[in-house]
Structures are given as structure tokens and as C-alpha cells.
Amino acid sequence: MPVIYEKEYKRYHIRGKSFSMVLAEYEMGDGSCVPLMRYYGSSLSRIPVEEGELLTERFRSFDTANAVLPFAVPTAGHGDFRPVQFEIIDGRGQNCTRLSLTGHGVIPGKKKLAGLPATYVEEEEEAQTLYLDLKDEKSGASVRVSYTLFEELDALAVSAEIRNDGGDGLILEQAGSVSLSLPQAVDFVHLHGAWAREFNLEKTGPMHGERTVRSMRGASGHQHNPFVALAVPGAAEQSGEVYGISLVYSGNFQITADQDAYDHTRVVAGINSQTFQWKLAPGESFQTPEAVLVYSDHGYGHLSQIYHELYKKRLCRGRYRDRCRPILVNNWEATYFAFNREKLLEIAGTAADLGIELFVLDDGWFGRRDDDSSSLGDWFVYEEKLPEGLLQVSDEIHKLGLKFGLWFEPEMISENSRLYENHPDWVLRADGYVMTPSRNQYILDLSRKEVQDYLIERVSRVLEENRIDYVKWDMNRNFAETGSASGIPSGELPHRYMLGVYRIMEVITGRHPDVLFEGCSGGGGRFDPGMLYYMPQIWTSDNSDAVSRLKIQYGASLVYPPGTMCSHVSAVPNHQVRRVTGLEIRGHVAMSGVFGYQLDFNRCTPKEREQIREQIKAAKQYREIVRTGKFTRLISPFSTGDCAWQFRTEKEILVFAFRILQQANVMPPQICLADLPLDAVWQDGEGQIYDSRYLMHHGLATHLSNPIEGERGDFQSQVFHLKKTGE
């Protein structure tokens, strides 16, 4: 039994394959009984009955038990000066919630979260859920915290539901998804960035006080991914203890880690409390988003592998979850807004000849959209640009043997649009204030059902009438003036907006199960687990430069499977950084994710086109290994001038190695592989045989330090494909 209640000791032991979490009942002096987080770490077979001296048993001036106990569900108002999970204001205006245990249970499987994306089970046996019921009798606030253990996948999903069981209205000032207590000081690792510069890995050592990553943008944002790893100092890729916290949420979030005066760490993760205030009438309830916790005692690499498996198998959904993804060409960087039917068919024709499988028509096909100043919301074909209509273009593309995909930005509205003329009140705006434009556009008020319904019907009509096989769902600005004509207060709007987005996505993806959906928000501005629940792949960054992408994809892989990261070969000089790199490295970087192109093949030389033909063949050969294989980071571009990573299935290994800047007079780098079955033997394309131990300890010899005469020296790459052999 992986989740056990030990009645004698009044404690709950959640025992995963490699971790244990122990929650123990604790009698407070005021008659309440609260759960403490007594242990979270490497899997235990025995738990000591007494912990020895509890923190509270020693005299401490100024700090009461409330300030030092490792509460599993900490609340405000009782002298716990660390970040709390819940702050609830009762009918008298007091915030002294004391959540006392009223019951618990263990159920097979996992329940759905109302209206929210979450990890799931297909069979009940895959998981067990421990729930703890807590209540504050004075205010009537009831909380059920659910801990779902995915036994085989070795992860823990946690969320909470708050109910108002009292007679007065309650106000939620803070409703976190999870709280963790660790009895040590830890490193804080997070992924920060900006538009076109996402997923930078940053690590800071232990420090007293709070460290927070968050968003107030109405989207998870490019700036901080909703993920934090806390590591016992010294942890590395293949060794050491690391704790991951990943939020299945795409809106305003916060993850705060606080190291107190006793060097203990409290972490609280969930909806951002600064932009949140929720009224809970008697009988109403509020469901928090889910947080996914992963523990690894084999370093960051193993942590990532657990997240990858869980997110690939039990977060992503739909027909494409387990299918290889079509290789696409997208016309955005090839034409931007300046295209017509002939131009599109010219690109598609060459694409089909080269082996491409999907043609994607990006921004500019609707309303009167010639630049980014108009038409968002008018999801009708731009007839002056495509006079024969969209269906005709779609048919022509299909006749070439390609699938046809279309770009949308459903959540947005341009002031210069028919939709705005007809429904000026459908925009998010604060009464009496000027709306702040961003990319010349505004955000639709998706907290309102009529706006959601309009989008569901309009987008569905376009998909149904035009034989659309793929949708790129973009979102290109963040919140300002968060108000609604329907009177929803600003404290509720960001979350109600997200619930609206999720409902629209649930209905549209459900109605069109054969369509492949790709998420996007100016690249990785909403690359989060919430989106992956609806869309199994996401455009990772608007930066398509191969060198920039090494860091972006390396950083993102800390949580997200490479098979969810869309990555394209684009033209040089690159449009974002003007760097000139060879086709080979551009191909190898893009093949490490969901592969595609974003250029006009007709502008390539015949030699380049032949190279592209070969590249597409290789990508088809490798894509299943990339999608399903175990991913291991080998060399970090954040700490060296090189980069390498490895994908491994039962029978194959694929290694990509990169040298960013060349050096004179150095030996060729050896790439040591990792995480191989010890007794296996492997063979490369030239018939060379390697023992796993040789590959891990001696490594593969590369040609990365030998630039070919007359060729570029910098930006070299090499791929190795090894197959398991019986010899």
C-alpha cells in the first residue's frame, strides 16, 4: 500500500518509488489538531515514532510554536510569520483561521479538478489519493487537501478545495495549492527570461528571507516559469537531492520559498495572492490549481525525467499525445503579413517535394489584417488577400499531400475590428481609465460566458468549414486595467479569465479531436503545464536562432519534455539576433524538439534544398526517439561554450553535441553519455561497437574542434545515433 494511515501513530505515509512524505497529526494547545509535514525526502521503510526534541519544546523568546512548527497547511493569523497557504477573512473581518483535522481518507485513482487542467489517471490503479479534511469551526471555512501519488510515475499532485460551510460570507485573500516544509537551507533554481529569451536557468544559494517567482500578467509569462527546484547544496545533474514544484496553471501564480532564522525552508505555491481576492458565499467552494511535486535523489537529471514522463503520459491528452508529430513549415518568418494565395502555394509546393507534412498559415489571413494594428476578433477570411477563400487554399494544400494548419489569437481584440465595433464592452477595461495598448491590441473579457461562447462557435466554424488539421493558438499581450463590464471585481478577474480560457480550450479541443493544437504566447509566454493539458506542443520561443535556442531548450527541459517544444529551422541572418549559422546546427537544434521550418525554401540555393531534403529524412528517423526517449542533459550551455544532450529508448541512443564558439589548438571534446543500462552494448552507423561503461566514462569522440577548411569555425554540431546490439 503506497499510502498508509498509521493509526497508532496518527500519521500518513505517502510512499512513492523514490520518496516518502509523512504527515502527522499534532494537537495544538487550543484544542485543534493540525497536520504537520514531518518528513519529505528519500523513500523510507521505517519512520521513528518520536522525532526527538520538537522545535517547540525549547524556550524561544518571541517565537511561539506557531512560528516554528512545520505545518502542512499553514494559515494566517496565529503568529506563523512565514508564507502561509491560506488567508481567509471571516464575517467579522478576522483572519485567524485555524484549520483542524476532521477526517481523512484514501481513495483509488484521482478525481478531476472542476474547470482546471490537471494530471489524470486512465486506470484507477495508477494512483492513490489521500485527502485530509480540515475545518475552522468559527468561520465555517472547510478545506480538503488532496495528495495524489502516481505510484509508477513517482510524482505527487497536490491541490486544495475550500468550501464555505458557515453562515457568513468569507473572503479568500490567499488560496495556495501546496505548502512544503523542509528542515534545511536549500538552493533555489528557477527559469527566468523575457520575450525571445525564455528559460534561463538561474541558481542562487541558501539565503535567509523570501525568494519568489511570480506573474501578475494574466498569463504565466516569459519572465518566470511556474516552476521552482529546491536543491540541497551540491546537487548536480546526476547526483544530489532536488525537490521540484511545478504548477499546472497558466495565469497569475507565485511560488515563494522562505528560509527562516532556524534555517528551515517553507515553500508555498499557487495563485498569486497580490492580484487575488475571492468572495465565497455560504455553500460555495473554490478549487485551487494543482501543484506537481517531484523528489529526486539522483540530481536534476532524474527530476526532469520524472516530470517528462508524467507530463507526456498523464498531463498531455488527445490523439496526438502518443503520436509522432507532422513536420511542418510555417510561413511567418518566410512572408510575415505579405502573402497571397500564389506565394503560399509556392512555398507549400516546394515543401511537399522536400518531404514536409504540414503547411501552417500564420498571422494575416483574417479580417483586414496587413499588419498588427487591426482585425483581431474578426475570424473571417481576408477576401482581398485570399479572394478564392480559405477552403480553396486548404484544398490546394491538401492536394499537394500536406495537412493544413491555421494561426489564431482567439483571446484578443483589435480596436480596429468589427468585433470591437459590435461589442466594445467585451474588452477587459477598468471603468473611467484609458486602456493601455500593447502590440496595438486588447484582451477579451473571457470571464463572460457569452464571449467564451462566441469564440467557441467562431473558431469551430473556421475549423469545420476549411478542413483545418492543426491550430496554432497564440496570445500576444498581458493584462492591464483589469476590469469587466459585468462588474466582476479585479481580484477575481484574472482567475475567472483563466477559467474562461480553459473552458474554451476544453470545448474546442474536445469538438475537434483530430486537430493538432499548438500553444504559443509570443513564443514561450505561456509555456506551462496548464497549456500542455490542452495542447501537446508549444512554440518555445519567438527566437529561432540555433545558438539562442540551445539555452532556451536546455532550460525548458528542466521540467518540460523536449517532445513538447516546437523548434524550427529558420533563415540566416537570423531575424531575431542576425546571427549566421549553418543549416546543420539549425537542423540539429530543431530536431531536438518538435521539428519544423520557418523559411521560404524557394529562396534557398539548390544545394541547401538538397541538404534540407536529407535533414527532413533524418528528422523522420529520429522523431520517435526524441518524443518517447528518456532525455538527459550532458553539457550545459549556461556554464560552458559547448552543449550536449541525449535521448534514449530501450534500443537506441541519440546524442546531439554542439560547440558554440571555436577555439584554436584544442583537443576534440569527448561527450560522456549518462544514465545507460550498465551491461548494454551499442553500435554506431559505421559499425563501431561501444560498451555502456565506455560511453559513460570515456565518451564519444567528436569532430567539433576541427572546422573544415573554408567552412565556418563557430556553431558546429554533430549527431550520434547508436543502436543496441547483441554482440
Q: Which residues are at the interface with ligand GLA (CB under 6 A)?
A: 332, 362-363, 407, 474, 476, 520, 522-523, 539, 542
Strand-pair category, 516-519 with 470-473: parallel
For ligand GLA, the closer of residues 440 and 611 by Cβ is 440
For ligand GLA, the closer of residues 223 and 717 by Cβ is 223
- Is the separation of the CB atoms in 278 and 286 below 8 Å? yes
Catalytic one of 469, 542, 600, 642: 542
Q: How far is the CB of 34 from ligand GLA (least distance, A)?
A: 46
Amino acid type, 414:
S
The DSSP code sequence of 193-206 is --TTS--EEEEE--
Q: How far is the CB of 523 from ligand GLA (least distance, A)?
A: 5
What residue spans of 26-78 are helical by DSSP H?
A: 65-68
Q: Please state, in angstroms and rounded to a whole number, the distance separating the CA atoms of residues 53 and 43.
A: 23
Strand-pair category, 200-204 with 242-248: unpaired
Q: Please state, in angstroms and rounded to a whole number, the distance separating the CA atoms of residues 191 and 199.
A: 5
Examine the residue annotation and report whether 542 is marked as an active-site residue of this protein: yes
Q: State the CB neighbour count (10 A cutoff) for residue 242.
A: 27
Q: How far is the CB of 364 from ligand GLA (least distance, A)?
A: 8
Examine the residue annotation and report whether 353 is marked as an active-site residue of this protein: no
58: its cell numbers? 525549547
For ligand GLA, the closer of residues 189 and 531 by Cβ is 531
For ligand GLA, the closer of residues 309 and 370 by Cβ is 370
Q: Please state, in angstroms and rounded to a whole number, the distance separating the CA atoms of residues 597 and 612.
A: 10
Q: How far is the CB of 570 from ligand GLA (least distance, A)?
A: 11
Q: How far is the CB of 52 from ligand GLA (least distance, A)?
A: 55
For ligand GLA, the closer of residues 522 and 562 by Cβ is 522
Cα torsion 701, 702, 706, 708: sign? positive
Amino acid type, 545:
D
For ligand GLA, the closer of residues 20 and 476 by Cβ is 476
Q: State the CB neighbour count (10 A cutoff) for residue 434.
A: 9
Q: Please state, in angstroms and rounded to a whole number, the distance separating the CA atoms of residues 435 and 587.
A: 43
Q: How far is the CB of 131 from ligand GLA (least distance, A)?
A: 40
Q: Given its phi and psi angles, is residue 79 left (phi above 0), alpha (psi -120 to 50 degrees) or beta?
A: left
- Is the separation of the CB atoms in 569 and 590 below 8 Å? yes
The DSSP code sequence of 620-677 is HHHHHHHHHSEEEEEE-TTTSSEEEEEEE-SSEEEEEEEESS--SS-PPPEE---S--
Q: How far is the CB of 582 from ligand GLA (least distance, A)?
A: 23
Q: Please state, in angstroms and rounded to a whole number, the distance separating the CA atoms of residues 519 and 532.
A: 8
| Residues whose CB falls within 8 Å of the CB of residue 51, separated by 6 or more in sequence, listed in order | 38
For ligand GLA, the closer of residues 249 and 539 by Cβ is 539
- Is the separation of the CB atoms in 587 and 327 below 8 Å? no
The label of the residue with cell 504527515 reads 23
Q: Please state, in angstroms and rounded to a whole number, the distance separating the CA atoms of residues 201 and 465.
A: 44
Instruction: Please name which of 329, 393, 401 lies closest in space to residue 365, comparing C-alpha atoms.
Output: 393
Cα torsion 702, 708, 713, 719: sign? negative
For ligand GLA, the closer of residues 253 and 407 by Cβ is 407
- Measured CA angle at 595 (ends 589, 600), to 5 deg: 95
Q: How far is the CB of 558 from ligand GLA (least distance, A)?
A: 22
Q: How far is the CB of 542 from ligand GLA (least distance, A)?
A: 5
Residue nearest to ligand GLA (CB): 363
For ligand GLA, the closer of residues 198 and 474 by Cβ is 474
For ligand GLA, the closer of residues 362 and 469 by Cβ is 362
Q: Please state, in angstroms and rounded to a whole number, the distance separating the CA atoms of residues 308 and 154.
A: 11
Instruction: Please name which of 223, 277, 224 lies closest in space to residue 246, comparing C-alpha atoms.
Output: 224
Catalytic one of 474, 545, 600, 675: 474
Q: Please state, in angstroms and rounded to a whole number, the distance separating the CA atoms of residues 213 and 226.
A: 8
Q: How far is the CB of 407 from ligand GLA (least distance, A)?
A: 6
Supply the residues annotated as catalytic: 474, 542
